[in-house]
Amino acid sequence: MSYVAHDETPFARPAEIGEVELYHPKTFIGKYIWSQDAKVIGVQYAITAIAVGLVALVLSGIMRLQLGFPHTFSFINPSNYLQFVTMHGMIMVVYLLTALFLGGFGNYLIPLMIGARDMVFPYVNMISYWVYLFAVLLLMASFFVPGGSTGAGWTMYPPQAILEGTPGAHWGIILMLVSLAFFIIGFTMGGLNYVVTVLQARTRGMTMMRLPLTVWGIFMATILALLAFPALFVSAIMMTLDQALGTSFFIPALVSKGQHLDHNGGSPVLFQHLFWFFGHPEVYIVALPAFGIVSDLIAVHARKNIFGYRMMVWAILIIGGLSFIVWAHHMYVSGMNPYFGFFFATTTLIIAVPTALKVYNWVLTLWRGNIHFTVPMLFAIGFIFTFVNGGLTGLFLGNVPIDIPLSKTMFVVAHFHMVMAVSPVLVVFGAIYHWYPKITGRMLNDSLGKFHFWVTFVGSYAIYYPMHYLGFLGVPRRYYAVENLDFIPQSAHSLNVAITIAALVVGAVQLVFLYNLVWSYFKGKPGGDNPWNATTLEWQTAHTPPTHGNFGESLPVVYRWAYDYSVPGVEADFIPQNQPPATRGGNPGEQSS
Ligand code: HEM
Ligand SMILES: [Cu+2]
């Protein structure tokens, strides 16, 4: 990649507010409670998301206990099994992964990587976190209200979500819907920040085509979320009204438990369309940041320039665009017109093209790289395998005639866990091992990290590979118990025991990771400013952890893209983005702006 000097790029916008102009808190409360520093907000998001994610992890362990050893645990009954399925799914997708990638990594990394002092609207950014926390607390409160949390499934399909007989059909579903509405309000405040900051606050020389792919992934995911979440927002409000005030947006005339309900004229399928208009892009809201981060991890830890940078950016844009016209592949069994099904199957399969392209480019980046099998690299490679796996079963499910018999079986559960649970979680771990030294100044313990990786990676396959076979056998999802069904052979039950054991092991090894997070904070090996010898700006700060304002007196000036690793003819195997080109004499005057 040839460089363009910053003074030759006509459209680079400076983000040159002085450090003194920032809001500098004096008190503990000002610093950590009403913090306007995106780095602090990012860590707050991350800690909250991981805490609530642990709740979801425990729920999955309880579900697996039931599936592996039915009738052994009296505290699990059919109703609360459904509640656990629902809360587990919703927490994992929205409150853990979305919040962590955008609110957590987005806040921490965007300003640092683009050479800005902070987000553009720090005050709104701070409120965004508190609204998110409020949404989390509302959701947790739903475990304790009369009737308990909703058991309608994370898809919350009406009419059953609000009808007597479904667990949590009264308070549980209302709290879920209101919590989602608040989540979206909070997210929107953060999301506007991420987009405007990337567009307006890049430092001199940081053109869009010099952005690290991490920033591209988070940026595009935020745009998707800003466009997709409103569909969920309106449907949450409409369903709340249906439940609380007796309106009929989604509820047709129906008889429930022998009673004619007052509702009539609503459309349950309308909800499905609104939900999946959000729900499919949601997959990419989680996946695009993961794609971006993995690209950067691979480049840094293989000491190679990313293969096909521009192609990677275009693939992110195209995947983001296409993700809005595939939603009804989740509705093949809703009785849709076959031509409709054909349309959605076609668009779905087209997404495989830019996606496969990204996979090829990752592999080509690794090819003949100087691969360092560091913990972040292990997780990145684990992601590529797992994502390809989950993607391939997606190609099957994208076809109407294959999806119809497999829909509502454990095959679907196996598919989506591979592609949107295990894959992004592997990236989350890789990213934490990679950026932890910047956030805390210390490295995470390497041996514990490798142990954590191998058990999580192999264990995830032990959980989800056999689950595909359960799906072929017709084992349904969201079922409390599947005994006494003639078509399910004994072998399926044995498999369920094995899966449960694997799940408990994987769950337990996460404690090792948590221990590592805490232990290394105090005792970890000091990492210095740039332990991985990376080129991007967050590693070029004067202090580690970076101070408020990120770069001290003067902002860095960018002269090159983010991937100058192992450049021929250059002695060091990396050139930081803010290192002036040697051929131009490296005038130090250019550094300070
Ligand atoms: C050790 C890790 C995990 C285990 C053992 C696990 C296990 C399970 C189980 C047993 C179910 C219910 C299956 C059924 O009866 O239908 C389920 C559902 C689900 N899981 Fe996970 N899970 C894990 C991690 C995740 C993660 C990280 C995500 C994030 C995307 C996730 C998303 C979901 C979703 C969306 C559902 C569907 C909920 C529904 O049907 O309404 N899971 N999981
Ligand atoms: Cu989808």
**Substitution candidate for ligand 1 out of 73, 92, 461 with most atoms within 8 A of CB:** 92
Identify the three-state secondary structure at position 262.
Answer: coil
Q: Give whole-number Cα distances, 593 to 21, 122, 199, in Å.
A: 16, 23, 20
Question: What's the pLDDT score for residue 12?
Answer: 40
The encoded tokens of residue 543 equal 């202090």
Which residues contact ligand 1 via a Cβ below 6 A? 60, 63-64, 85-86, 88-89, 92-93, 97, 153-155, 413, 417, 420-421, 425, 463, 477-478, 503, 506-507
- Fold for 40-251+264-588, please state it: Cytochrome C Oxidase; Chain A (1.20.210)
CA-nearest residue for atom 28, ligand 1, is 421
| Measured CA angle at 214 (ends 524, 552), to 5 deg | 65
CA dihedral (414, 417, 419, 425) in degrees, to 10, reads: -150
559 CA to centre of ligand 2 in angstroms? 40
- Residue whose token pair is 């399925």: 85
The encoded tokens of residue 88 equal 């587990």
Contact 102, 191 (CB under 8 A): yes
**Substitution candidate for ligand 1 out of 52, 55, 60 with most atoms within 8 A of CB:** 60
CA-nearest residue for atom 27, ligand 1, is 421
CA-nearest residue for atom 38, ligand 1, is 89
Question: What's the pLDDT score for residue 257?
Answer: 86
Ligand 1 closest atom vs CA 425: 27
Longest dimension (CA), the chain: 86
What is the spatial distance between Cα 163 and Cα 172, in angstroms, rounded to a whole number?
12
The encoded tokens of residue 16 equal 């040159």
The encoded tokens of residue 89 equal 């799914």
pLDDT in tens, the chain (593 residues): 444 444 444 444 445 667 766 777 778 888 888 888 999 999 999 999 999 999 999 999 999 999 999 989 999 999 999 999 999 999 999 999 999 999 999 999 999 999 999 999 999 999 999 999 999 999 999 999 999 999 999 999 999 999 999 999 999 999 999 999 999 999 999 999 999 999 999 999 999 999 999 999 999 999 999 999 999 999 999 999 999 999 999 999 999 888 899 999 999 999 999 999 999 999 999 999 999 999 999 999 999 999 999 999 999 999 999 999 999 999 999 998 989 999 999 999 999 999 999 999 999 999 999 999 999 999 999 999 999 999 999 999 999 999 999 999 999 999 999 999 999 999 999 999 999 999 999 999 999 999 999 999 999 999 999 999 999 999 999 999 988 888 999 999 999 999 999 999 999 999 999 999 999 999 999 999 999 999 999 999 999 999 989 998 889 999 999 999 999 999 899 999 999 987 544 444 344 33
Residue 275 CB-density burial (10 A; 0-12 exposed, 13-18 middle, 19+ buried)? buried
The encoded tokens of residue 483 equal 């005994």
Identify the three-state secondary structure at position 199.
Answer: helix
**Substitution candidate for ligand 1 out of 58, 417, 456 with most atoms within 8 A of CB:** 417
- Asked if omega into 588 is within 30° of 0 (cis), the reply is no
What is the spatial distance between Cα 430 and Cα 440, in angstroms, rounded to a whole number?
16
Question: What's the pLDDT score for residue 299?
Answer: 98
- For the CA of 344, the nearest ligand: 2
Q: Is the dihedral of CA 108, 111, 114, 115 positive or negative?
A: negative
**Substitution candidate for ligand 1 out of 82, 157, 406, 413 with most atoms within 8 A of CB:** 413
| Amino acid at residue number 169 | A
| Amino acid at residue number 450 | K
Identify the three-state secondary structure at position 574.
Answer: strand
Question: What's the pLDDT score for residue 24?
Answer: 74
What is the spatial distance between Cα 282 and Cα 301, in angstroms, rounded to a whole number?
29
86 CA to centre of ligand 1 in angstroms? 9
Question: What's the pLDDT score for residue 583?
Answer: 56
CA-nearest residue for atom 34, ligand 1, is 89
User: How much is the pTM?
Assistant: 0.94
What is the spatial distance between Cα 366 and Cα 359, in angstroms, rounded to a whole number?
11
- For the CA of 499, the nearest ligand: 1
Strands 259-260 vs 255-256: parallel, antiparallel or unpaired: antiparallel
Domains of the chain, residue spans: 40-251+264-588
Please compute, for residue 72, the number of CA atoms within 13 A of its CA located in the half-sphere on the CB side. Answer: 10
327 CA to centre of ligand 2 in angstroms? 5
Q: Is the dihedral of CA 32, 38, 43, 48 positive or negative?
A: positive
